[in-house]
Amino acid sequence: MATEWIDITVPIYAGMVLWPGDPPVEISQPMHLDRGDICTVSRLALGLHTGTHVDAPSHFLRGAKGVDSLSLEPMVGPARVIEILETAAIGEAELSGRGIERGDRILLKTSNSARCWNSDEFVPDFAHLTLDGAAHLAGVGVRTVGIDYLSIGHGDDGPAVHRALLGAEILIIKGLNLSGVEPGEYDLVCLPLKIRDGDGAPARALLKSRDDPARGPRR
């Protein structure tokens, strides 16, 4: 059987969990077939950091690139899902020794995937990258870091974690649901909406296993 694409995107709906203080998701139908309109047209209002999304450097760095000028390379290509369940504070100690290399696309499957998406209530003690974890990935020179909840950093360190990654031109993908994904090697497709000068954008994110025997050796 051919390997299937796995959808690792969370759905967008009114009332979904958001980063605290972010604008609410509002969906309405200014035109609707049920009201005699010629077609149904919905209106969507949402923050650019809603659900599964990509951060642009301009999210934390003044004058930096918007989401429409980002390279697509970090968003499409081979990626590795690394499972780290033993701690919520993922640092250098958890990341080193895993063979992470320059140019890698890394998706962190943490305890968040099983725990956080079951509720529309924000989970404050989510698993995240620490400052030394972010510095480690920046030092290695990875291409992409994805995580399975609504921020990559936590608490007072959150902004510095973002700046360390974005300043090293590492793409940050947030809000992934990796609960149906085993650790391993995949092909990633994650395409954010092309919003001019956007500080981020919602994205559809997909994985396909590279362990399909029909494809032969993966490296």
The residues that are catalytic are: 59
CA–CA separation, 124 and 107 (whole Å): 21
CB nearer to Zn ion: give 22 or 83. Answer: 22
154 is a contact residue toward Zn ion (CB under 5 A): no
Min. distance of Cβ 162 from Zn ion in angstroms? 8
User: Do 183 and 109 touch, CB atoms closer than 8 A?
Assistant: yes
User: Taking the CA atoms of the chain, what radius of gyration do you get in angstroms?
Assistant: 18
Q: Of the listed pieces 33-41, 60-68, 159-167, 195-203, which binds Zn ion according to CB under 5 A?
A: 195-203
Structure tokens at 160: 């510095």
CB nearer to Zn ion: give 146 or 200. Answer: 200
Binding mask 53-92 for Zn ion (x = CB under 5 A): --x-------------------------------------
Min. distance of Cβ 55 from Zn ion in angstroms? 4
Q: What is the DSSP letter of 2?
A: P
Q: Residues 19 to 58: which contact Zn ion by CB under 5 A?
A: 49, 55
CA–CA separation, 165 and 170 (whole Å): 5
Closest residue to bound Zn ion by CB:
49
CB nearer to Zn ion: give 147 or 188. Answer: 147
Q: What is the DSSP letter of 73?
A: G
User: Do 19 and 49 touch, CB atoms closer than 8 A?
Assistant: yes
**Among 109, 200, 206, 207, interactor with Zn ion by CB under 5 A:** 200
Q: What is the DSSP letter of 34?
A: G
Residue 74, classed as helix, strand or coil, is helix
Q: Which residues in this chain contact Zn ion in the complex, by CB under 5 A?
A: 49, 55, 200
